[in-house]
Amino acid sequence: MNYQQAKIRADILKALAHPVRVLIVNALADGERCVCVLNELAAIDQSNISRHLASLKRAGIVSDRRDGMKVYYRLETPCILKAFECAVEVVRADTKRRNKDLKAV
Amino acid sequence: MNYQQAKIRADILKALAHPVRVLIVNALADGERCVCVLNELAAIDQSNISRHLASLKRAGIVSDRRDGMKVYYRLETPCILKAFECAVEVVRADTKRRNKDLKAV
DNA sequence: TGACCTTATGCTGATATGCGCATATAGTAT
DNA sequence: ATACTATATGCGCATATCAGCATAAGGTCA
């Protein structure tokens, strides 16, 4: 793998690497949602959610569709959810390891 | 999922979200490597590689082992590689979509 | 048209990240 | 102890990211 290829992968991961964006992607797992609903995922300004959605869209992870006044976002590549499972596995393994280290003391 | 849980996942993804760290993890896929080898993955300062390794370690993604003067790093959770596959899938799907859009014009 | 609702964008400041250089630390060897 | 190799850390600078506020832009409805 060369640097350019690594950068492409890194950019996708970076697009996912924020708590609010993780919440958004997770919420979209079951299907499309309008911004108004996603707004309630975290206690932050509406403009902020809008920007997070924009960066997910830029990365190709979600796409949007307007219906009247509302805009609906949906996952373009549900495989993204696997990346989360993996993250959980890292944390779980890490916790287990640290506990073992503690016992060894 | 609450914000705290989302943050934990985001922190793992963030630890992976840099071209150099992607290169490192990719290089470790086949087994442990010493820093001296990882140093050659990209044209950057040695101190920089060291820091990237430290952040991967902090996240629990790699672990290290000293042998004489050398320090060897290895993947602690190989499932990380799946996250990359997923990133590739996102890019591929995105490219395909854009091409279709172009044809539609 | 004007009032209203939903979502996006410009601006600015605060904080985080990444980099190289110099230097510290750990280990080996003479 | 000295010299040498390998890796990590302190520092300062440049740039990126994120937040909120204000406001624009797109759409509805009376």
- For chain A, give the number of residues: 105
Is residue B83 pLDDT above 90, yes or no? no
How many angstroms separate the CA atoms of A55 and A87, rounded? 20
* Nearest-CA residue relative to C1' of C22: B47
Q: How do residues B25-74 score in pLDDT, each as one tens digit?
A: 999 999 999 999 999 999 999 999 999 999 999 999 999 999 999 999 99
Residue of B nearest to A44 (CA): B3
Q: How do residues A85-98 score in pLDDT, each as one tens digit?
A: 888 888 899 888 87
CA of A53 to C1' of D14 (A): 27
How many angstroms separate the CA atoms of A82 and B79, rounded? 10
Q: How do residues A4-24 score in pLDDT, each as one tens digit?
A: 999 999 999 999 999 999 999
CA torsion, ordered B94, A64, A72, A20, to nearest 10 deg: 70
The strand pairing partners of B86, in sequence order, are: none
Query: Please, what are the domains in chain B?
Result: 3-104 (1.10.10.10)
Residues in Cβ contact with B85 at an 8 Å cutoff, skipping those fewer than 6 apart: none
Query: In whole numbers, what is the pLDDT of chain A averaged over residues?
Result: 93
Amino acid letter for position B9: R
pLDDT of amino acid B78: 85
